[in-house]
Structures are given as structure tokens and as C-alpha cells.
Amino acid sequence: MTTIVMPPGGFMSVCIIGTGLIGGSIAAALQEHPAPTLVYGVDVDAGSLEHALEHELVAEAALVDDASERGWFGPGGVDLIIVATPAQFAEGWLERIGAEGFDGVVTDVASTKGGIVKTARRALKPPARFVGGHPMAGSERSGIQAARPDLFANAYWLLTPSADTDMDAYRRVHEFVSALGARVISVDPRSHDEAVAIVSHVPHVAAAALVDVAAAHAGEGKELLRLAAGGFKDTTRIAAGSADLWTGICLDNADALAAGLRELRGVLGEFEAMVRAGDGEEIRRWLATAADVRRSLPQQWVPATTTLRELKVPILDRPGVVAEITGAVSAAGCNIEGIDIDHVSEDTAVLVLVLTDEGDVTVLVRELTELGYEPRLETLDEAAAEEAGE
């Protein structure tokens, strides 16, 4: 019996706007997928497009106006558009796509979401087929020359469904991202921006500050920097990222970043006071707590398939249902390995979520029940046996 392998998310054609590190790596990963996907590349840099063509990352490439003339942004142009540009450019792209009447699914990769989701809601037709995204993967290197197909392997990829996100569009983008090797987490746009400020944006600024302090003490011959070995280099690696890109990120997420920096300044001030007071006990306690938290971070995420669970949630097909349920999943610390929608009638369906072996499913079930749902949780083996009629 021949097994038919479908392209990721069922998208037969994908247009990637922005063929840099992220866009190029998406294209590279698609080329290694067993099911063929027709990939188009769009960029303002002809050199980047030439590289994509020469290395067979895309089937066709075009500068912006040429892509419009070919109808890639118009009705029925492609199945999926990925806006793989920094946030400050993504909003303009969404407006252009909307103005040209694109009617497929749209996602993005920008590291801030609030403004982009608002723009998508205003500019796209229909806006519900936009699913915000943010892969937590990257490199101190930039450009398509740094692209690689395994960039997203076991990396977090945040999806940010909003109140009007279409269920089927979310499911397909979730499947698409998972096929690239990423681990999907759903969170609302505002919570996303607050979270990434703490785990991504503040650390980048802190790394740049450490480099700035070291440079100020380096001397004319940069003697001190010659001593900067393992620990310092590892801690400050991310400071080598693109200044243009990070300027945009800092401005796009200014409020959340400023709040995080204020909190960090307070923590550093408290530690400075401990040092000045010579309080060895408090210093040790503070350092030990941080060390315990750091050691608790997983080296690599690998779900235990024997403990995967299936959550079935009967739903009415109404605006906001996907965001509400996936938000509850994220709040309970659970993660979605797979998602499907079984339509019962025109207005009703069963949202089927395969959950990994993380989080508190008891809290999740209670939260969903309090929201008015009737969730049913089974192990994957029990669900399979039920479907088989055993």
C-alpha cells in the first residue's frame, strides 16, 4: 500500500517574502521535506534571490514589483504567504498583500506581535486567515548565506492566534511549522510581546551592555579583550547580531523591553548592595537559586510518545474559540504536538489536540470546564483503541 505524503500544512505553494536567515532556512527545510512544495522567493535584494536560486532553495524568485506582476500576492496566487521580514517592514507587507486582494493563509516570523496582528486585522481580506508566528531560532550570523534546513529543529515556534483567527488556518500553520521540526506554543499577542521581552530582548541588551563595559576597560591595545575566553564569549554571543534588526525590535517592543530592563536594573541593584555589604550568605543564596533554575532548563526537548495525551473539546465554530482553548493549554504549561478539527455540523466541531507529556492537564481540564467546555482527556493509546472499536 502506497502512503501519500502531503506537503506541510497541505500548502502546495508557498511564497516567502524576505529570503534572509529565517526565510532562507524555511525554504531549505521545505526542500528536504518528502512531499514537494512549490516555493517562491521575494526580496528587495537581487543578490539574495540569486543565491536562493543557485542553491535551489526556491523554484522561482522575483523582486517586489515583478512578484506583483506574476500575481503571487493576488487572489489564488499561492496557498501560503510567509512574511519573513523584521517587524518594522512586516506591517507594510501586510498592507500590500491586502491591497492586492490575497485570499490565502498568511503568517509571519517577526519577534513582536501586537502591531502586526492589528495591521493584519485591518489590512487583510479576510483577516481571520492570518496566523501570527515567531520562531525562537536564529544565529549571530544573518543573511541567506547563513540559512540551514535544521535551524528550527526542536526550537520553539510561537503562534499567536487572536479572537478572529480561523480554526482551519491555525491548524494548517501549526502543522506546517511542526513539519519544519519546531515545537509549537500558542500564546496571545500581548503575552507574547511581554514574554519575549524577558527571555530574548532583555538578554540581548544585557549582552551588549557587558561587551560595552569590557570595551571601556580594554585599553588602547585591547589587552582585556584578549582574555575574553569561553564564559564571556558564550554569554555575549548574541550581542554580535544585526544592529539594524535589533534597533527595530527594541523600538517595536519598547514598553515591554523598558519594563524588563527596569526589573533587571532592580535585581542588579539588590545584588550590588549584597556585595557592598559583604553578605556572603545572601550572595550564595542568590547565586544558588539562579543556578538551580538554570540547571532545570531542558537540554533538548523530546516528547515521550508513550505518554502523549489526546484532548477532545466539543466546540461551536465561533470567533475566538481557537485562541481561548490554545491559550488555556499554554497557561497550564501544556504543549500541542498535533491538532485536528472534526466537523460535526456546519456550526459545531470537535477540536482534537494531541498534548505532550508536559504541564498540568488537571489544571487545563478544570480551566476549560470553567470556560464552559466539556473536555475529554485520554492517553493516545486509549484514543486509538476507541477509534478501532476495541
CA distance 315 to 341: 10
Answer for the pair 22, 43: CB distance below 8 angstroms, yes or no: no
Phi/psi zone of residue 62: left (φ > 0), alpha (ψ -120 to 50 degrees), beta? beta
Question: Domain of 197: which CATH number?
Answer: 1.10.3660.10
Quickly list DSSP for 10-27. G-SEEEEE--SHHHHHHH
φ and ψ of 224, to 5 deg: -65, -40
In a shared domain, residues 376 and 353: yes
Asked whether residue 32 falls in the same domain as residue 148, the answer is: yes
d(CA 241, CA 351): 40
CATH of the domain at 80: 3.40.50.720
User: Is residue 377 assigned to a domain?
Assistant: yes
Q: Residue 329: inside a domain, yes or no?
A: yes
**pLDDT at position 1, please?**
44
256 and 338 fall within a common domain: no
CATH code where residue 352 lies: 3.30.70.260
Do 61 and 19 lie in a common domain? yes
CB distance 250 to 87 below 8 Å: no
**Shared-domain flag, residues 28 and 68:** yes
pLDDT at 321 over 70: yes
Place of cell 519546531: 182
161 and 226 inside one domain? no
CA–CA distance, 6 with 60 (Å, rounded to integer): 21
Taking all residues of the chain, what is their mean pLDDT, rounded to a whole number? 86
Domain shared by 147 and 182, yes or no: yes
Q: How far is CA 41 from CA 28, 44, 147, in A?
A: 12, 10, 14
More confident residue, 344 or 369: 369
The pTM score is 0.79
Nearest to 356 by CA among 336, 383, 327: 336
Place of cell 529543529: 153
Nine cell digits for residue 106: 498568511
| Residues 325 and 361 reside in one and the same domain | yes
Q: Please check whether residues 45 and 177 belong to one and the same domain.
A: yes
- Examine residue 260 and state whether it is found in any structural domain, yes or no: yes
Cell numbers describing residue 90:
512586516
Rounded Cα–Cα distance for residues 184 and 144 (Å)? 24
Give the pLDDT band of residue 229 (cuts 50, 70, 90).
low
Residues 231 and 114 in one domain: no
In a domain, 1, yes or no: no
Asked if residue 3 belongs to a domain, the reply is no
Together in a domain, 285 and 314: no
DSSP 3-state percent helix, strand, coil across the chain (nearest 5): 50, 15, 35
Residue 188 φ/ψ region, left for φ over 0, alpha for ψ in the -120 to 50 degree band, beta for the rest: beta
Strand partners, 376: 312
Structural domain total, the chain: 3
Look at residue 2 and tell me if it is in a domain.
no
* Boundary of a domain, candidates 240, 268, 296: 296
Structural domain harbouring 223: 193-296
Q: Mean pLDDT over residues 41-66, rounded?
A: 95
Last residue of a domain, one of 155, 187, 219: 187
Q: How many helices (H) and strands (E) does the chain have?
A: 16, 12
Mean pLDDT to the nearest integer, 56-81 = 94
As given in the structure block, the three cell numbers for residue 84 are 519573513
Question: 283-292: per-residue pLDDT in tens?
Answer: 999 999 999 8
Share of the chain above pLDDT 70, in %: 89
111 and 70, same structural domain? yes
317 occurs within a structural domain: yes
Final residue belonging to a domain, choices 240, 274, 296: 296
In this predicted structure, the answer to whether residue 4 has a pLDDT above a threshold of 70 is no
Q: Residue 161 CB: number of other CB atoms within 10 A? A: 29
